[in-house]
Amino acid sequence: MEVNRGNFFWMLPSMLDEAQKARFVTIDIEMSGISSSRVRTHHNNSVQDSYTKIKEAVEEYQVLQIGFTFILYDEKKSEYTIRTFNCPVSPLFPRSPFSGSLARHLDRKFGVSAISYGFLRQHNFDLNHALDDGIPYLSRREQELSVQFCLPEDMEHEHIDPLTLDNESQEFYGYASRQIGTLVAAPFETSMKTFIKNPFGDKLNGLQIRLVHQIVRDEYPACTAKRIQVGSMAGCMSVSMNTQATEAEVKSRRGLNMDEAKKLSGVDPRKRFNETFDFQKCEANLKRSQPILVGHNLLHDLAFIYDTFFEPLPPLVDDFLTRINALFPRIVDTKFMHTRGKHMMEPDRTLRELHDRYARLQFPVVRDVARSGPATAGPHNAGYDSCMTAVLFLKQTRSLFAKGEYMDAVEEKCYAPTRHDPQEVKEETTPDSSSVASLAEVNAGSLLDQEEAETLGALQNWLVLTADESTSKHATFPIKDANGAPQPGQSEQKKSARKVGDVMPSETYSAKELHIIPPWVDEFWRAYGNKSSIGGVGCVSFV
């Protein structure tokens, strides 16, 4: 389903409703370029080197499209349903006086790779559509700057010493100061406003406007300066004494600007969009359920997403991994799942090739309830690719889980962050990837962490554990086939090796679903969860 600039706020409640119901969310993005033109690939890269290359590409290119596919298990039909939304994203601001001024203030810049552009065109990707009809946005950092921009004019400018200017500028400064001083000295009823014109002819230039605002701010705070845009005095400035009416007008104008800034940040101030949807309840549900985020070659996409919608990427890879884990505590990379345990001479497989291989499997059943994007959409359209990733994830996970080969494989050596990000809010430690500690010893402040007794009790209520089994810290999740029978070749030793890990408060698994996709508490996700491939160096762990 296409979500663009014209229907975003109407579609947002539907997307959020799907998100809060979903167990898994797959994402994919399309960019104006993939690898930075400033670096060359070497075979002796470190993880930091590879991350630096990704960071440079992120700073050079632009996210053009994001695809979301929400995955939910249908208990009655014993099938997974997926619903996809394709969202073009534009760095351009909507046309309005405020957005135009903000655009000049932020002045976004991005490049386009000729190779990537040609590749996207071959797959019917319309760059003009993404730029013209894409959803505008502000990152968290840009939102902070937009709030400052809505404050009184000229607040971001440094003070100008008029004595450092030429004679004509000093003459104008004195003229403007005298005009405003005369206004302030006059009886209140005599005059309420004065006009500052350019004594050298034509409209005021940028320096003159800054000087007028500076005079008002520094010498006459009881006044308000305003540019005149239309009429016979267009190009001049009016300076008026503050009254309740003018203060109300200024406050109203700033309020409208703040509303538009919120709208660009994804928070629409118009209540008609919020009347039938409880955003606060949805946010609480998402924090409680924390759907598992899935992608293909996910590290690369997360770097673009973080820089575009949150804040600039940190210089060090450890800080990036730590911050991503704080935002998305449960991550799965389908590319890492495919490459885990394979040697470097294995042939590369594209997302499409892997999807086509696993899509032939009849189980689990996956039903697409809404096709992504326009009718011509295909591979390398973000919505379409996120849909392929969803199918690949479900069927590949089921296949690997049923075989149980991950229990015998040598533990994959992935780079893990070794230092704490100073900006990280939480100071508690994360679980060691080499062992699963009892939840009482793990970060109690995290959304993922629950008290062990509560977790075991919940598992018992969900019929995962019996009352006797709940006394042990080792939960058993036997693998069964579609008919509920144990899988052949699955030893009791392997089954008893599954341990309790992190589980969300609202996360429930039915007896039917347990044998399809393992819950996050399963040992399976110690092998495949919170890890991602990184080009040239293998893989990284987010914890």
CB 51 within 8 A of CB 323: no
433 or 67, higher pLDDT: 67
Q: How far apart are CA 257 and CA 145, in angstroms?
A: 13
Q: What is the pLDDT of residues 141-163, one digit of tens each?
A: 887 777 766 665 544 567 889 99
Average pLDDT over residues 415-444: 46
Per-residue model confidence (pLDDT) at position 499: 40
**Does the structure show a pLDDT above 80 at 179?**
yes
> What distance in Å separates the CA atoms of residue 51 and residue 86, rounded to the nearest whole number?
28
Contacts of 534 (CB under 8 A, 6+ apart): 47, 50, 51, 54, 299, 415, 540
Query: What is the SS3 assignment for 85?
Result: strand
Q: How confident is the model at residue 472 (pLDDT cuts 50, 70, 90)?
A: very low
Contact 318, 421 (CB under 8 A): yes
178, pLDDT greater than 60: yes
pLDDT band, very low/low/confident/very high, at 246 (cuts 50, 70, 90)? low
User: Which tokens is 253 given?
Assistant: 């104008």
Mean pLDDT across 24-33: 92
The residue written with tokens 């495949």 in the block is: 528
> For 207-231, how does the pLDDT look when each residue is reduced to its tens digit (9 = 90+)?
999 999 999 988 998 888 888 888 8
Q: Which residues contact 540 (CB under 8 A, 6 or more apart)?
A: 47, 299, 317, 321, 414, 415, 416, 531, 532, 534
Coil vs helix vs strand at 188: coil
pLDDT at 539 over 80: yes
- The whole-chain average pLDDT of the chain stands at 76
Please give the share of the chain, as a percent, with pLDDT higher than 70: 68
Contacts of 50 (CB under 8 A, 6+ apart): 534, 535, 536, 537
When pLDDT is cut at 50, 70 and 90, the band that residue 407 belongs to is low
Query: b/e string for 360-399 if b means 16 or more Cβ within 10 A?
Result: eeeebebeeeeebbeeebeebbbbbbbbbbbbbbbbbbbb
CA angle 346, 350, 351 (to 5 degrees): 130
CATH tag for 8-138+266-403 (out of 1.20.1640.10, 3.20.20.100, 1.20.1250.20, 3.30.420.10): 3.30.420.10
Domain positions in the chain are 8-138+266-403, 162-261
pLDDT of residue 480: 38
Angstrom distances, CA of residue 182 to CA of 175, 240, 314: 11, 11, 53
* pLDDT score, position 130: 84
pLDDT of residue 18: 92
What confidence tens digit (pLDDT) does each residue in 81-113 have?
999 999 999 888 776 666 666 666 777 888 888
- The burial class, CB within 10 Å (0-12 / 13-18 / 19+), for 355 is buried
Over the range 183-212, which residues count as b (16 or more CB within 10 Å of their CB) and which as e? beeeeeeeeeebebbeeeeeebeeebbbbb
Amino acid 42 reads H
Lowest mean pLDDT among 15-29, 376-390, 434-448, 518-532: 434-448
Give me 508's structure tokens: 């429930």
Residue 332: which pLDDT band, with cuts at 50, 70 and 90? very high
Residues 33-76: tens digit of each pLDDT: 887 655 555 556 789 999 999 999 999 999 999 999 999 988 88
Instruction: Give the C-alpha separation, 272 to 395, whole Å.
Output: 41
Tell me which CATH homologous superfamily contains domain 162-261: R3H-like domain (3.30.1370.50)
User: CA-CA distance, 24 to 480, in Å (whole number)?
Assistant: 21
Q: Which residue has the higher pLDDT, 424 or 142?
A: 142
314 pLDDT above the threshold of 90:
yes
- 309: its two tokens: 């919608």
Sheet containing 24-31: which strands, arranged edge to edge? 331-333, 292-295, 24-31, 63-74, 79-88, 366-370
**Cβ atoms of 57 and 36 closer than 8 Å:** yes
> What 8-state DSSP symbol labels residue 200?
T
Residue 465 has pLDDT above 70, yes or no: no
Hey, what are 497's tokens? 């090796």
pLDDT at position 335 over 90: yes
Indicate the residue type of 511.
A
281-295 pLDDT, tens digit per residue, is 888 888 888 899 999
- List pLDDT tens digits, range 345-390: 777 788 899 999 999 998 899 998 865 444 445 667 888 999 999 9
Q: Confidence band (pLDDT; 50, 70, 90) for 454?
A: very low
Task: Tell me how far apart the alpha carbons of residues 140 and 23 are, in angstroms, rounded to a whole number.
Answer: 26
Q: Say if CB 120 and CB 380 are below 8 A apart.
A: yes
Nearest to 512 by CA among 21, 78, 77: 78
Question: Edge-to-edge strands of the sheet including 237-241?
Answer: 193-196, 237-241, 223-227
Omega of the bond prior to 478 within 30 degrees of 0, cis?
no
- pLDDT at res. 408: 57
Q: Please give the Cα distance from 486 to 518 (Å, whole number).
A: 14
Q: Are 34 and 61 within 8 A, CB to CB?
A: yes
At residue 123, does pLDDT exceed 80?
no
Supply the pLDDT for residue 313. Answer: 95
Q: Which residues contact 488 (CB under 8 A, 6 or more apart)?
A: none
